[in-house]
Structure 1
Amino acid sequence: MKVSMLDQTQLMEGMTPEDGFARTVEIARHADRTGLERYWVSEHHGSGTLAGSAPEILAAHLLGKTERIRIGTGGVMLTHYSPFKVAESFRVMGALAPGRVDLGIGKAPGGTHLPTILLAGGRSLDDWGPKKTDRFPEMTGELLEYLADDLPEDHPFSGHFRVSPAVREAPDVWILGTGPSSARLAAELGLPYAFAHFINSDEEEMAETAGLYADRFRAAGHAGTPRVIVAMRAFVAETGDEAEFIAGSALHGQFWAHRGRQVKLPPPRQALGDVKTEKERDEIETVRRSWLIGSAGHVRDRLAGLARRVPFGEVMAVSPIFDLESQKRSMELLKDAAEGI
């Protein structure tokens, strides 16, 4: 099984955005040296704790700081933007680093309603809302046409221009999602699919969604084989106790996120001090069970069991760990755990 990483540029206590981006660069370089398959960055707006609001800029920077690993977005929230401009931006990236660029696209807003209004040029949220999300399949098709220089004959601009720059190899486009609608779209278009388990941890639903995607992809007669990534919270250490310890900071952040509050992640020794009641402890335990937490052997068993039920060939770690060296080691151990699955 392949191993990759999704980095949300999660800020820790005492960390500025400048610190966070410097750390993202260091982790990406380590992922490159460690042999991970790909390194994606996310899009969030109006956040004081997740610094990555322009993933295409950050991804382009990381391409220049790494040598082998695929770099991409997980993802660009396409419904905010012109598909033509997204195509141009990623073709520039493809020219800078041929064969190393992934364009993951989604339809979530990536923030609250106020940044969404501003991304729409200050117009009413009514101009975005269902009208834009319902257009995601149409916008995706338009993006693919621009990337391939393949406008349909009935397009008003067909034959009048080409998307610049002309590149040898377009980026790989991935559909991101958490359920059947995104899986159906990916299968219909013959695109690979990434399921965000860290958002929807219902593994029965994930298995059904991935199976639906694979079945429809094959039934459509597309060339190649269906490809599925599962993106999961992952915290791996030399021992189970150490893995539980380093996961504490992220669990602390999740506890407060469920209460509508964004917090920078504290050191693990200071994490979860606000969890007082039995109900709150049960909530944390439910979250903890859905994450990959443990030694390499434990995580290998968990991934192998999951792979027997879900048709996926790549796990993408979302691993906000307070200590930098522990984060690097978690990445290495996860790669060891996935080998041979």
Structure 2
Amino acid sequence: MTKLSVLDQSHVCEGRTAYDALSETTKLARETERLGYSRFWVSEHHASPMLSFSSPEVLVAHLASATSHIRVGSGGVMLPHYSAYKVAENFRLLVALHPRRIDLGLGRAPGGYPLATRALQEDKTVDIRKYPQQVADLVGYFYDALPPDHPFAGLPVSPVISDTPEMWLLGSSDESAKIAASQGAAYAFAQFFGTPGGEDAMRIYRAQFQPSVLNDRPHSMVATLVVCADTEEEANLLATSSDLFFLRLEKGINQTSLPSVETALHYPYTEYDYMRINQYRQKRIIGTPDKVKRQLLEMRERYGADELMINTPVHSMEARLASYRLVAEAFGLTL
């Protein structure tokens, strides 16, 4: 059976508040658990009013408490901002509270605009080239395996337990695939951004994979944007919200919410805008359950991915829930 999971970014939808968005994320986690999805991940973004949170580890704790068995994790923690030791402490505690249910997805992007990055890294010298070493340090902390010559060798991570989070490296480039392969980590490709080159990145990951304490063989996932409805017309209509959202994002327009379908339909698009939206649509999966299932399976085959993760930025909460339900039913998750 195909393993399906959920990526939710807790968009603040037009006409609603951050309180509403967090409540909707909690509701979505509970519902997708009931539907049979495997994982529920939340992302890290900073200084973004259109998103309702910036600390995935805090939201992971809440969502894990609100559910009973679905794996909950970060998609992901932007590691260069932080001490590897502190991230290890946070996620070791989460695992102690929710054994065998916590995923630690890691990224190296800033997750926000330059001013936010400077504030996060205040008085700290950050070298992105040290990211692979940070990942290695995390593994060393979790498995008590720091080299003897490491400056923090023997430093325990509290609470001292045998369980560890499942570690994933996230990315949208060949470079992130190479880092994941060299560390023996699981790898998730962020296709929902519309970034090209995912199939090549996955091939590189599999070809260069080196077994480690994390995994003895490659394990991969592709995350994509999906909107599913009973009819093509309805699915395409629901997707107009994300069309406008990504168009504004590309133009650098400040946004405080995910636009409603009505706002999207009345936006004064130019010919260039329509061209860009059509290009976005080529990277997304939008349609009826049969079409969505077929295209997801084709994507899994192209990427050689073990798992699929779905992101559904739809303004209507009812329609968002229905989209996940229809996909789950198409794949037989709810049997």
**Displaced runs of 4 or more, over 6 A:** none
Indicate whether 1:146 and 2:141 are aligned. yes
Asked if structure 1 preserves the Cα contact closer than 8 Å seen for 2:300 and 2:308, the reply is no
User: In the alignment, what sits opposite 1:156?
Assistant: 151
Aligned-residue offset at 1:319: 0.8
TM-score (norm 1): 0.92
Q: Residues of 1 paired with 2:55 and 2:224: CA distance?
A: 22
What is aligned with 2:27? 26
Aligned to 1:183: 177
Amino acid at match of 2:151: P
> Map of 1:90-169 to 2, 5 A cutoff?
90-121=91-122, 123=123, 127-128=125-126, 131=127, 133-159=128-154, 161-169=155-163
- 8 A Cα contact 1:184 1:216, kept in partner: yes
Shift of 1:103: 0.3
Separation in 2 of the partners of 1:288 and 1:200?
Answer: 9
Matches of 1:297 and 1:324, distance apart in 2: 22
1:195-218 deviation per Cα after TM superposition (whole angstroms, max 9, x unaligned): 00022432xx1111111111222x
The CA distance in 2 between the partners of 1:254 and 1:306, in whole Å, is 22
Identify the residue that residue 39 of structure 2 maps to in structure 1: 38
Please show how residues 1-341 of structure 1 align to structure 2 within 5 Å: 1-121=2-122, 123=123, 127-128=125-126, 131=127, 133-159=128-154, 161-202=155-196, 205-217=197-209, 220-221=210-211, 224-263=216-255, 264-338=257-331
Unaligned runs of 5+ in 1: none
Q: Say if 1:175 and 1:194, in contact at 8 Å, map to a contact too.
A: yes
Q: What are the superposed Cα offsets for residues 58-99 of structure 1, whole Å, 9 maximum, x if unpaired?
A: 001111000010000000000000000000000000000100
Q: Name the CA distance, whole Å, in 2 between partners of 1:35 and 1:301.
A: 19
Q: SS in structure 1 opposite 2:239?
A: helix
Query: Distance in 2 between the 1:262 and 1:4 partners?
Result: 30
* Of 81-90 and 143-152, the range deviating more from structure 2: 143-152
Letter in 1 for 2:57: E
How much identity, in percent, do the aligned residues show?
37
Q: Assess if the C-alpha contact under 8 Å between 1:243 and 1:294 holds in 2.
A: yes
CA distance in 2, matches of 1:79, 1:275: 39
Question: How many correspondences in the alignment?
Answer: 329
Q: Which amino acid aligns with 2:110?
A: P
Kept in 2, the 8 Å contact 1:235–1:292? The answer is yes
Cα offset, 1:167, TM superposition: 1.8
Report the RMSD for the aligned CA atoms in angstroms: 1.6
Give the secondary-structure state (helix, strand or coil) at the position aligned to 1:290: coil
Whole-Å separation in 1 of the counterparts to 2:277 and 2:229 = 20
How far apart in 1 are the matches of 2:3 and 2:171? 19
Partners of 2:11 and 2:21 within 8 A in 1: yes
Contact 1:98–1:168 (CA<8 Å) still a contact in 2?
no
The alpha-carbon deviation at position 282 of structure 1 amounts to: 1.3
Q: Deviations over 1:158-217 (max 9, x none)?
A: 23x411101231001100001111111111111100000022432xx1111111111222
